[in-house]
Amino acid sequence: MLVHRYGPQNNSDSAIAKTIENLFGTEQLSIGVAYDTAADSFERVGAGQGEPTGELIDMSVHPIFSQLTRSVIADNGDVFKDISWLNFSKHVDGTNVDHSGANGQEMVRYMDLDMNVGPRYYHAEEIGGKYVILLSHFPLDGKDGRQFTMHPLFSGLRKVYNGAYELVNYNSKGWSVPYSPADGTTIVYPVTTRSGDWGHADLDTEATDTLCEARGNGWQQYDFWIANWERLLLLTGYASYDIPGIVGAGRINQSGGTWTNGSYIGAQHYDLAGGYASAVQNGGTTYDTDFAQVLGVYNTWGNVWKRVASLIDDHDVYAKNQEPYTYSGTTGWTRVDDATDTGITLPASDGYAGVPHSGLGLVLPSDVTGSSSTKMHDYYIQNTGFRVFRVGGSAIYGSSAGPFSWNAAVSVSAANTIIGGRLCFKAA
């Protein structure tokens, strides 16, 4: 059997890289990182070992990245056409993208079995004070009973797409587009609870569910597992928690304005030049040019907070893979575990996210011993009782904003002009 080798091989003499090679072989069919909790540093393992940390990995190194695609998908989940990474206004066949949603929503493909893309597997463990996460297209077996497991995001599904843009409200439906569905040219703004164009009265968590589900079967709002996978891609891609410091800060540090369109709330008509990552920051109150885009998703942080369908029960984290989402109790939800199969509990005080949890919890803080320049870099906010996540910070945040800035302080019923969302698609 022909075995494909992805990326540089046997080019690291570190103990952790050698351990991973010993456990899963030198035929590098996985790609990942090891985070040293004591040294506060990353190292690439698997197919990416030897490549620099703190910058985006070569996107051709492994299918986990090379098969990431921006696409336009119809309401039934069929792909209309894929979008070029070189120019987001062009399809891969050279035709123009209709940014109004006339042909479908602009999304990022994580899995589509109809397109022979996916599913994705992971392996995580703690080795000598280092938290290892490995991603693969294959359910690999290693030594001593080690196995790759399907990430919870993909369980029971054949399609998973993440919204390329922040959630827009038009005709009581959720949209992922940069221009108005009404005329195809007017700029649009992410939905929050505010008056005027693109606003939605009393947009709380359940109303956001309803807005997204109005598109039809499989459509829903951003949830914890899709947010988790997106952040594991960021960590594996950059081998760093300081993604804004590498890509650019984007739409944060706005001052002197108000939470209205064109002031603190920025437009969706971002730079469509293409590329795997880009950012613009001019600052001030009226810079609708400000944005950050990473791996095809605009404003993973900044602009407005993004709601995450999730449940926090007195700092314990629960997730669910598909709607309907109910937030009155933990029945039907699954507690999120770390690499040792221990339920994850978030810190009980606010502060900069410090040492992460291990395993799938690598995106969540276990303490608040960090700063804006150390450990997880981003700020964490909490409260007691039943809560839901929002993530990313907002336009008025400074260095505390980022993809690992989690807010677990808001109730399900919280509705505010600084909280938006994101449209996603999952098909069983």
What b/e sequence results for 6-27 when a residue is b if at least 16 CB atoms lie within 10 Å of its CB, and e otherwise? bbbeeebeeebbebbbebbeee
Percent of the chain with pLDDT over 90: 89
Output the CA torsion sign for 386, 392, 394, 396: positive
Q: Is residue 20, in this structure, part of any structural domain at all?
A: yes
Q: Is residue 218, in this structure, part of any structural domain at all?
A: no
Say which residue the tokens 């404003």 belong to.
299
**Nearest of 406, 205, 385 to residue 301 by alpha carbon:** 406
What proportions of the chain, in percent to the nearest 5, are helix, strand and coil? 15, 30, 55
Report pLDDT for 230.
Answer: 98
- CA gap 264, 258 in Å, rounded: 6
Report pLDDT for 4.
Answer: 28
- CA gap 377, 400 in Å, rounded: 7
Residue-wise pLDDT tens digits, 106-139: 999 999 999 999 889 999 999 999 999 999 999 9
- Rounded to the nearest 10°, the torsion over CA 345, 350, 356, 360 is 50
- CA gap 277, 122 in Å, rounded: 24
The domain in which residue 121 lies consists of 15-64+117-154
Residue 10, pLDDT above cutoff 50: no
Report pLDDT for 12.
Answer: 52
Q: Is residue 48, in this structure, part of any structural domain at all?
A: yes
Of residues 308 and 11, more confidently modeled? 308
Q: Is residue 102, in this structure, part of any structural domain at all?
A: no
Residue 151 confidence class, pLDDT cut points 50, 70, 90: very high
Q: Is residue 243, in this structure, part of any structural domain at all?
A: no
Residue 181 CA, chain-centre distance (Å), reads: 25
Q: Is residue 23, in this structure, part of any structural domain at all?
A: yes
Report pLDDT for 3.
Answer: 28
- CA gap 292, 395 in Å, rounded: 12
- CA gap 90, 113 in Å, rounded: 24
Residue 25, pLDDT above cutoff 90: no
- CA gap 337, 11 in Å, rounded: 33
pTM of the full structure = 0.96
Tokens of 251: 């739409």
Residue 11, pLDDT above cutoff 90: no
Going by the DSSP 8-state scheme, the letter that residue 347 receives in this structure is: -
Residue 389 CA, chain-centre distance (Å), reads: 13
Residue-wise pLDDT tens digits, 216-225: 999 999 999 9
Residue-wise pLDDT tens digits, 48-62: 998 999 999 999 999
Q: Is residue 279, in this structure, part of any structural domain at all?
A: no
Total number of domains constituting the chain: 1
Q: Out of 25-29, 86-90, 222-226, which region has the weakest mean confidence (pLDDT)? A: 25-29
Q: Is residue 149, in this structure, part of any structural domain at all?
A: yes
Residue-wise pLDDT tens digits, 354-388: 999 999 999 999 999 999 999 999 999 999 999 99
User: Residues 6 or more apart from 100 whose CB is under 8 A from it?
Assistant: 177, 179, 180, 181, 182, 183, 184, 185
Residue 13 confidence class, pLDDT cut points 50, 70, 90: low
Say which residue the tokens 């492994």 belong to.
62
Residue 317 confidence class, pLDDT cut points 50, 70, 90: very high
Mean of the per-residue pLDDT values of the chain: 94
Residue 8, pLDDT above cutoff 80: no
